[in-house]
Amino acid sequence: MSRFSSAVRSEVALLGVAIVLTGACVSAPAPSVSSPSTEATPTATPTATTFVVPKPTEEPVTRDGLANASYANPDIERELRSVFELFYKARTLPSAGQFDVAGLRGLVEGPYADYTLPLFDQEISDAQAGRLLEVRFSGIAVSSVEWTGIGTDGHAGIARLSVTRTRTELRRGSAPTEETATYRFAAERWGQRSQLYGGVESSLAGPDAVHWSMFDFVSPGTDRWISEPAPVTGAQAATELASYFADFYAARSVEPGRAFDISQSLGRVAGSYAAYTTPLLKQTEQEVASGAIREIRYADISVKLVSWDAAATNHGGLALVEVTRTAHVSRSSGPEPAQTATYRFRVHRHEGPVWLAVDFFRPDVGRWVTEIAGATVIVPESGHG
């Protein structure tokens, strides 16, 4: 049984399919494509983060069973060849003819439908305006099929596959153009009801009918599944970290006459740094309760992002930062001199997103607390999200 890509696992988990997923902290592999071209139309290149469309394709959705296929007797590769013949037939524009809008709509769901139908709408508009005269597909070949069954019998499931095709297009005032490209798809095999999309059902099909729905696609522009969130950039991480450390030091501040609640700080740390800082926070809590410490304020907080690895784990990235702040501490004996210092942290951006300080460089000993603790990983595998 093939393992899901991170994109397919996210899709299945989001929609409630009961598949047991692993949680190891490893970098998720990026899917690949063999062509930089954009599927659906050569005149529009949407990104994975811009699914905003002016108008959806408003056609009735008919989901007919696949001819010469048996739900109880899967023949995955043969079925997929038939499905993609239908898929590209629907995208074909015969000379003086029209696209099969209902045929395509019945074969797509989820993120891929959101991605491809707006592009298809543009092609329909071009054809209606007389700009696009003909579209043909040839040399359709399915390869690299990875199948994962769902349920007790395994007849329903997810296929990830590559499809190569040659597209020939004729536009008004131009010579025909030809493009051969290979794309990666994820498709669901289902019977009378989709396992991924609960409201998706067959159209008057019998109990042995087979349906396929393409629901995910590797965008050539980003080389990742369109269901995956956009990678967090360094600039975005820096902005979020500035906010995180403002809250981090606010949680560690002490107002005169008020109790010190360490839970506000403990919710922002994990791993070896949590083990290191918790006793210090408890000591501060005791000193505040006894009246030894009356006030702690932090000012002039600045955060410098030294490095950012968005793919450090399969549940979020890891940042190395330098934080400068000035601490103002007032004790029962009076105010202490202001202390300005710069510290180094490793901070994990967990899915959500939630930022958690997981490591700290101790300037007094010149070592990271993770190293001192003998930990084998910087970001803990569980218990933090």
pLDDT in tens, 252-291: 999 998 889 999 999 999 999 999 999 999 999 999 999 9
Give me the DSSP letters along 217-250: EEETTTTEETTSPPPPPHHHHHHHHHHHHHHHHH
Report yes or no on 385 lying in a domain: no
- The answer on pLDDT for 9 being more than 90 is no
Phi, then psi, of 353 in degrees rounded to 5: -90, 150
Kindly list the distances between the CA atom of residue 143 and the CA atoms of 78, 117, 162, 344, 358, in Å, as whole numbers in the listed order.
11, 24, 5, 48, 43
Confidence label for 47 from pLDDT (cuts 50, 70 and 90): very low
Residues 6+ away with beta carbon under 8 Å from 242: 303
Based on the fold, state whether residues 171 and 251 are members of the same structural domain. Answer: no
- The answer on pLDDT for 36 being more than 70 is no
Confidence label for 353 from pLDDT (cuts 50, 70 and 90): confident
- The answer on pLDDT for 371 being more than 90 is yes
Based on the fold, state whether residues 197 and 344 are members of the same structural domain. Answer: no
Question: Which among 176, 203, 225 is the end of a domain?
Answer: 225
Report yes or no on 359 lying in a domain: yes
Report yes or no on 379 lying in a domain: no
Kindly list the distances between the CA atom of residue 98 and the CA atoms of 86, 114, 135, 257, in Å, as whole numbers in the listed order.
15, 22, 10, 76
- The answer on pLDDT for 208 being more than 70 is yes
Per-residue pLDDT averaged across 88-108, rounded? 96
Based on the fold, state whether residues 82 and 189 are members of the same structural domain. Answer: yes
* Beta bridge partners of residue 308, listed in sequence order: 319
Based on the fold, state whether residues 31 and 79 are members of the same structural domain. Answer: yes
pLDDT in tens, 283-321: 999 999 999 999 999 999 999 999 999 989 988 999 999
Based on the fold, state whether residues 297 and 221 are members of the same structural domain. Answer: no
Report yes or no on 280 lying in a domain: yes
Based on the fold, state whether residues 298 and 366 are members of the same structural domain. Answer: yes
pTM to 2 decimal places: 0.62
Give residue 229's pLDDT.
83
* Average pLDDT of the residues of the chain: 86
Based on the fold, state whether residues 177 and 262 are members of the same structural domain. Answer: no
Per-residue pLDDT averaged across 114-118, rounded? 96
Choose between 355 and 231: higher pLDDT.
355
Report yes or no on 384 lying in a domain: no
Q: How many domains does the chain have?
A: 2
Based on the fold, state whether residues 39 and 161 are members of the same structural domain. Answer: yes
Per-residue pLDDT averaged across 223-248, rounded? 95
Q: Which of 53, 64, 5, 9 is nearest to 29 (CA)?
A: 5
Confidence label for 52 from pLDDT (cuts 50, 70 and 90): very low
CATH label of the domain that carries residue 317: 3.10.450.100
Report yes or no on 41 lying in a domain: yes
Based on the fold, state whether residues 248 and 364 are members of the same structural domain. Answer: yes
Report yes or no on 382 lying in a domain: no
Total length of the chain: 385
Q: Which long-range contacts (CB under 8 A, 24 or more apart) does 246-251 make?
A: 246/301, 248/357, 249/298, 249/301, 249/325, 250/298
Indicate the DSSP class of residue 70.
B
Based on the fold, state whether residues 141 and 168 are members of the same structural domain. Answer: yes
Based on the fold, state whether residues 156 and 20 are members of the same structural domain. Answer: yes
Based on the fold, state whether residues 218 and 238 are members of the same structural domain. Answer: no
Give residue 377's pLDDT.
87
Question: Which among 203, 225, 247 is the end of a domain?
Answer: 225
Do 39 and 116 contact (CB within 8 A), yes or no?
A: yes
Confidence label for 351 from pLDDT (cuts 50, 70 and 90): confident
Residues 235, 85: Cα–Cα separation, whole Å: 44
Residue 51: which domain range? 6-225
Q: In this predicted structure, which of 55-69, 101-115, 205-219, 220-234 has the lowest mean pLDDT?
A: 55-69
Radius of gyration in angstroms for the set of CA atoms belonging to the chain, rounded to a whole number: 28
Per-residue pLDDT averaged across 107-115, rounded? 96
Question: Which among 194, 225, 256 is the end of a domain?
Answer: 225
Confidence label for 58 from pLDDT (cuts 50, 70 and 90): low
Report yes or no on 356 lying in a domain: yes
Do 123 and 77 contact (CB within 8 A), yes or no?
A: no
